[in-house]
Chain A
Amino acid sequence: MIPEIGNLALVLCLILSLVQIVVPIAGAQRGNAAWMAMARPTARAQFFLVALAFACLVFSMLTSDFSVKYVAMTSSRLLPIQYKVAAVWGGHEGSILLWLLMLTFWMTAVSVFSKALPEAMVARVLGVMGFVSLGFLLFILLTSNPFERLIPAALDGQDLNPLLQDPGMVAHPPMLYMGYVGFSVAFAFAIAALIGGDLDAAWARWSRPWTTVAWTFLTIGICLGSAWAYYTLGWGGWWFWDPVENASFMPWLMGTALMHSLAVTEKRGGFKVWTVLLAIFAFSLSLLGTFLVRSGVLTSVHAFASDPRRGVFILIFLVVVIGGSLGLFAWRAPKVGLGGKFKLVSRESMLLGNNVLFAAAAGSVLLGTLYPLFLDALGLGKISVGPPYFDTVFVPLMAPALFLMGVGPITRWKEASLPELRVRLQWAAGVSVLAGLAITAIKGNFSVFVAFGLALAAWIVITAGVNLWGRVRPVPGNTVSLTKRLGSQSRSYYGMLFAHLGVAAFVIGITMVKGYEVERDVQMDLGDTVAIGPYTFRFNGVTEGMGPNYRYQRGSVDVLSNGQVTRTMSPEKRTYLVQKNPMTNAAIDTGLVRDLYVSLGESVGPTSWTVRVYYKPFIDWIWMGCLMMAFGGVLAISDSRYRIEQRKAARSVLVSDASLVGAVGGGAVK
């Protein structure tokens, strides 16, 4: 009964999505206010219906209703309750439903926080989002229905993929999808503006906070996924350039470019064509990512569904949405105009440089991800493209971006003077290079790569300091105290600084790990020791036991420094009862300047095992940096100008309601 209610909710939602596409957009074209007003309630009703369907699936999971095929495929009786909930998005059908839930959530958010927007704009934006929603509803109902029954019902389920039975994996997909799908808002704004024909600074101002929120979620989502890979895959790696990782990274790169481009469009009216294109690209890459992951076109551990019918459907959908919007772009772009002029040395040109670099980076990741597919399709053989390609392409693209990150925020809009910039930054450049060289010299083994990476990180930090000091330094005649001047800077400014400092932390993390990590792959018997730097690891054997739905073998490894046991680490190997595949749970001792990482390999004798031991300096700075970037995003959207706009909007609604009452009642309200 419950699954049928879920199914019915989706069917009703499909009808609503049709209404939401046709009526508000037609209303906007014809200036019919009543038709335009349909946008908000249909968007909210869609959210309600999809949330209902989602709740039905959660209910079926929690009650272990194995007459539902999807539940039987992704859950089992012994699965702990938090993973039963996570199992809702642990497979193909459920994760598409989660995608849709996020989309309708974003539609509802737009319907609530759009009081300041012209009605025609809201109608078009929600209409475009309704179209995306229609596509996904059809996809679910035609090819991937999570409510499909299994008759006769299974006695027990096939269990959730053990790789996904992890706290990090519970949160990773929702965060990632919030980000992916969040770009649909900026996309819808761009398409609405193209349809309506007015791409002004107001359009950029409205798109900006939405883009920032989506970008923030995506940053956190990618960060969680990377941290998860680090501690569950047992290799100590944190990024593999796996097609599915790339699928989430491409929209992030494009979204980063979009955020910066929107800033120019809002503040200076420039880059309009470019910004629209980036908005289309960012969401297109989200859709393409979904296609790559869900169609099984590329080999990957994540592709749990491989069905050409699904692939063909998503491909058609991609052609309609992306092809349609790029066609619309080609048609309308000449009307958009180029915006304000700027000189070669100006903040605009720096941001343009940033945009081009980030877009090129996204393009090169796309090329690397799809290259095997291109060759295969052309009959030129099977190859795989791995980290060497991505590392080679990525570093030369990102290094200049990091350099610009230091210069850009200090440069004036429109036209800056090169000599002035040189005066402001020559010290920063000198100190950065010295810092890079000094730290590598202290570490003992000099490497150009490490010195370069650290110098770039230092450059970002120092220029951020120069930037802030330039804004708050005491000026003769100005008596405002330093704390006051610090407090008077906007939150979006601090957000920018914070995110850039996050990038610096990220760069330090990568550089130190790449440069100075130590890895030992050893066979150890009881009491054997292995030394890495100041740490000695002693193997005390392996004990066996039972978890809730798995058997485990738990190693015990003492860490000694100066002959004293400072901690005991317990890496595990788990064998899940239903799916049987072994899982590695590494033991990690986390620290601000280093991680100790121990993972259990194979049993090679009665009491001896292969053990993998790593010393990873500064690795946590990678994720700390990501979280700082995300926090920068949070600061930026909490900026007071957005709150003031909201308040203003609320007041104007009140006034217009009051005047309406006044007009109807004939009384004098004012």
Chain B
Amino acid sequence: MMRFWPLGLFLALVGFLYVGLFRDPHEIPSPLIGKPAPGFNLPTLQDPAQKVSREALLGHVYMVNVWASWCVSCRDEHPLLVEFAKQHPMEIYGLDYKDTRPEAMAWLGQLGNPYQAALFDADGRVGIDFGVYGVPESFVVDKKGVIRYKQIGPFTPEALNNTLLPLLQKLNSET
């Protein structure tokens, strides 16, 4: 019976490989999904005196988009967000991660501003609370302040229209 071992092991391996084919190795589930968004109270980019906090946004459905002027793939994502925000009424808060004010302001001036407000996270502490490990990342937060979705890497037009839009409609209809 020894001679059937190699074949048997191989066929078991094939089963695993087949299942593996339809899984995305890049997909890493965020432990934050389904949990309350971490607390924050940050000044906006334009006006250091004005602050936005998690508590102030309770009752809103909004998205936190982590970006930075030094981030190359944010440059690809940004025009899509500008366009999306124009077409669909939604609240996007930019989280300007480990950046400088002049560079970030110049960036928004040049590429457009899709944000309700851009929050300035100079030392990246809020980003760390959100578990950001690459920029851009985006988090959708529901009316109760709970994270419902995380986008790793830049949004694509498909992700915006097929994933984000239905999700926003669903969350807006929740009470």
Contact = CB atoms under 8 A, between A and B. Distances in A.
Contacts, number: 64
A306 to B, nearest CB: 9
Contact of A326 (B10, B22, B28): B10
Contacts of B133: none
A272 B22 CA distance: 39
A409 interface: no
Nearest to A376: B23
Nearest to A373: B20
A112 interface: no
Nearest to A312: B21
A330 B17 contact: no
Which one of A299, A315, A372, A373 has the highest number of Cβ atoms from chain B below 10 Å of its Cβ?
A: A373
Interface in B97-147: none
Which one of B11, B20, B72 has the highest number of Cβ atoms from chain A below 10 Å of its Cβ?
A: B20
B170 interface: no
Interface string A286-323: 00000100011111000000001001100100110011
A291 B17 contact: yes
A277 B10 CA distance: 13
Nearest to A580: B72
Contacts of A327: 7
A258 to B, nearest CB: 15
A297 B21 contact: yes
B29 A323 contact: no
Interface in A595-610: none
B16 to A, nearest CB: 5
Interface residues of A, number: 34
B3 A373 contact: no
B contacts with A: majority SS: helix
A319 B21 contact: no
B10 A377 contact: no
A114 B25 CA distance: 45
Contacts of B29: 382
Nearest to A324: B7
Given A323-B11, A376-B23, A315 B6 contact: no
Nearest to B11: A323
Contact of B17 (A280, A284, A297, A580): A297
A322 B23 CA distance: 24
A26 interface: no
A333 interface: yes
A377 B19 contact: yes
A211 B45 CA distance: 65
A327 B8 CA distance: 9
Interface in A320-373: 322-323, 326-327, 329-330, 333-334, 370, 372-373
A330 B16 contact: no
A137 B17 CA distance: 22
Given A312-B21, A315-B21, A326-B7, A374 B72 contact: no
Contact of A334 (B3, B6, B19): B3
B21 A308 contact: yes
A377 B13 contact: no
Given A297-B20, A377-B19, A333 B3 contact: yes
Contacts of A590: none
Nearest to A372: B25
Given A299-B25, A329-B3, A330-B4, A315 B17 contact: yes
A183 to B, nearest CB: 16
A326 B6 contact: yes
B16 A370 contact: yes
Given A297-B20, A323-B11, A323-B14, A277 B25 contact: no
A609 to B, nearest CB: 15
Given A277-B6, A330-B4, A376-B20, A298 B25 contact: yes
18 contacts: A277-B6, A280-B6, A296-B25, A297-B20, A298-B20, A308-B22, A311-B21, A312-B21, A322-B10, A323-B7, A323-B14, A326-B10, A329-B3, A330-B3, A330-B6, A333-B3, A377-B16, A377-B19
Interface of A: 273, 277, 280-281, 284, 291, 295-299, 308, 311-312, 315, 318-319, 322-323, 326-327, 329-330, 333-334, 370, 372-374, 376-377, 382, 580-581
Interface of B: 3-4, 6-7, 10-11, 13-14, 16-23, 25-26, 28-29, 72
Listed from nearest, the 8 A-B pairs whose CB atoms lie closest are A377-B19, A299-B25, A326-B7, A311-B21, A333-B3, A373-B20, A330-B3, A297-B20
